[in-house]
Amino acid sequence: MKASRLLLVGLLALATPVFAQQAKVTTFTLQNGMEAVVIEDHRAPVVTHMVWYRVGSADEAPGKSGIAHFLEHLMFVGTDDIPEGDFSRIIEGLGGDDNAFTSYDYTAYFQRISTEHLELMMTMEADRMRDLVLNEEAVQTERDVVLSERAQRTDSDPGSLFSEQRAAALYMNHHYGIPVIGWRHEIEQLNLTDALEFYRHYYAPNNAILVVAGDVDPHEVEALAVAHYGKLEPSDGITARARPTEPPHLSPRRLEFFDARVSNPYVIRSYLAPERNTGSQSQAAALTVLAELLGGSGLTSVLGKALQLEDPIAVSTGAFYSATSLDPDSFGVYVVPGAGVSLQEAEAKMDTVLEEFLLNGPDPAQMERIKAQIRASEIYALDDQNGLARRYGAALSIGLTIEDIANWPDELNAVTADDVMAAARDVFTLENSVTGWLMKEGTE
């Protein structure tokens, strides 16, 4: 899913339970290296069954952009035991829903279904982990579907095209600069061999994480996992994920993107920013709180208060940061100016707000309200089985541990005004940034 990293932006719901109540979480690891997490939720006889692979678009070989996402589609074709086209048909026939998503750092497959069918879901998911069967015709048809997906989600949306251009400018070397769905001219060339090579290299139990959430007993889940996933052979081709890294950024980059379909021009700036790392999450926690302070909530946030209330030049403002990624990610701010306000003026005023924030620091009352919401988000998270499952899957697939996940709310709660200021001074380095103007064709 192309947008998945952005969706995490600013959502404090990422935090994990440690306060009043906690989700009951059990973990185990199979002998072949497959990790597993069980999250109990006994309110309804339903289960979410997910398998996450530690591979995403940023792991693709040069020239093969889109292969991770294309393979995700092809994983529904069939296996040596499941005839072509029957995978989703079987699940639908049992009243289940299934889907999958691809990000820069992971690819995940899931079913939501009545608990009694959990074993069959494991049988089927284990089957397609090692025994996928593809043919030329299915590959060609699905490639057309993916090209349609790109047309629908990217090429038809000037905001998405703009976002691709900005990412390509922000990352000079790292593959976060290449869209998850892939560049069109490279998708067009992807073939059966590319898909199978990628599959055979990365799809193995020692590169996978099982997440089961719902009305289940963890011991029973473990027994089922041992029976179905435990028999799969690990791959010896799985190595540490080493990707190209960024050289020093010596010059701020700027771009103007014109498109006839733009309705509301805006200015947006992204800075390279550190991410959560195992045993070292405090800077990411401070940046998470910083994003909330600057632009988390409209009128009560720093940008909103300044540019929507006091000097109301903007229709909308915001800040975003995705803490949970494998490699350094981005911290961003944006302003959508109102009618008659130029992007130049909007950018200048945005900069003034950031400068003043660096001088004055956060309002203690706002900090307190954000902390209250962080604590509450842990209680609300208990009502969101799918969200909890994704929290664990995403974090584990980028190398964080269960302990890191458990500590994250504490990390957020421990952030002080000084931490926020130190993180802000560090991240707001213009050389590390890309500033973009999205404009309507034919305007200045």
DSSP string, 398-417: TT--HHHHHHHHHHHHH--H
Question: Which residues make beta-bridge pairs with 378?
Answer: none
**In the complex, minimum distance from the CB of residue 149 to other proteins, in angstroms, rounded to a whole number:** 4
What residue type is assigned to position 127 of the chain? D
**Which one of 142, 275, 404, 419 is in contact with other proteins (CB under 8 A)?**
142
Among 168, 262, 402, 422, binds other proteins (CB under 8 A): 262
Output the smallest distance, CB 381 to other proteins, in A: 10
The interface with other proteins within residues 324-343 (CB under 8 A) comprises 336, 338-339
The two most distant CA atoms of the chain are separated, in Å, by: 65
CA 120/CA 97 separation, integer angstroms: 14
CB of 3 or CB of 226, closer to other proteins: 3
The one catalytic residue among 35, 60, 72, 125: 72
Q: How many residues bind other proteins (CB under 8 A)?
A: 76
Q: Which of 261, 425, 429, 431 binds other proteins (CB under 8 A)?
A: 261
Query: Per CB under 8 A, does 186 bind other proteins?
Result: no
Contacting residue, 18, 382, 402, 422, with other proteins by CB under 8 A: 382
| CA distance to 79, 121, 238, 262, 381, per residue, from 15 (Å) | 38, 29, 30, 35, 8
Cβ at position 186, least distance to other proteins in Å:
17
Q: Which of residues 362-381 bind other proteins (CB under 8 A)?
A: 365, 368-370, 372-373, 375-377, 379-380
Considering only residues 120 through 139, tell me which ones interact with other proteins, judged by CB under 8 A: none
Half-sphere exposure of 308 (CA within 13 A, CB side): 18
255, burial (CB in 10 Å: exposed 0-12, middle 13-18, buried 19+) = middle
N-to-C CA span, the chain: 34
- 219-258 positions binding other proteins, by CB under 8 A: none
Can you tell me the distance from the alpha carbon of 6 to that of 8, in angstroms, rounded to the nearest whole number?
5
Return the residue of 29, 31, 135, 141 that touches other proteins, per CB under 8 A: 141
Residues 56 and 74 sit within 8 Å (Cβ to Cβ):
no
Compare residues 113 and 178 and give the one whose CB is closer to other proteins.
Answer: 113
Shortest CB 30 distance to other proteins, Å: 26
Whole-angstrom Cα Rg for the chain:
23
CB 438 within 8 A of CB 263: no
Active site residue 72: yes
Cβ closest to other proteins, residue 283 vs residue 397 = 397
Site track 389-418 with other proteins (rule: CB under 8 A), x = hit: ------------------------------
Binding positions for other proteins, 269-298, rule CB under 8 A: 297-298
Q: Nearest-CA neighbor of 174 among 328, 4, 395?
A: 328
Taking the complex as a whole, the smallest distance from the CB of residue 350 to other proteins amounts, in Å, to 17
Closest CA to 287 of 408, 389, 388, 403: 408
Q: Which of 309, 348, 358, 430 binds other proteins (CB under 8 A)?
A: 309
Residue 48 main-chain phi, psi, to 5 deg: -105, 120
Using an 8 Å Cβ cutoff, are 335 and 353 in contact? no
Residue 441's CB is within 10 A of a number of other CB atoms, namely 11
Q: Under the criterion CB under 8 A, does residue 24 sit at the interface with other proteins? A: no
Nearer to other proteins, 145 or 348 (CB): 145
Question: Between residue 43 and residue 102, which ones bind other proteins under the rule CB under 8 A?
Answer: 43-46, 72-73, 76, 85, 88-89, 92-97, 99-102
Query: For the chain, give me the number of helices (H) and strands (E)?
Result: 16, 11
Beta carbon of residue 184, minimum distance to other proteins (angstroms, whole number): 9
Closest distance to other proteins from the beta carbon of 230 (Å): 27
- Reported in sequence order, the residue ranges of 115-230 that DSSP labels E, i.e. its strands, are 208-214
CA dihedral 171, 173, 174, 177 (to 10 degrees): 40
Binding mask 155-184 for other proteins (x = CB under 8 A): xx----------------------------
Scanning residues 1 to 20, which ones bind other proteins (CB under 8 A)? 1-2, 20
Considering the complex, what minimum distance in angstroms separates the CB of residue 375 from other proteins? Answer: 7
Minimum CB distance to other proteins smaller for 58 or for 139 = 139
Q: Which residues are catalytic?
A: 72
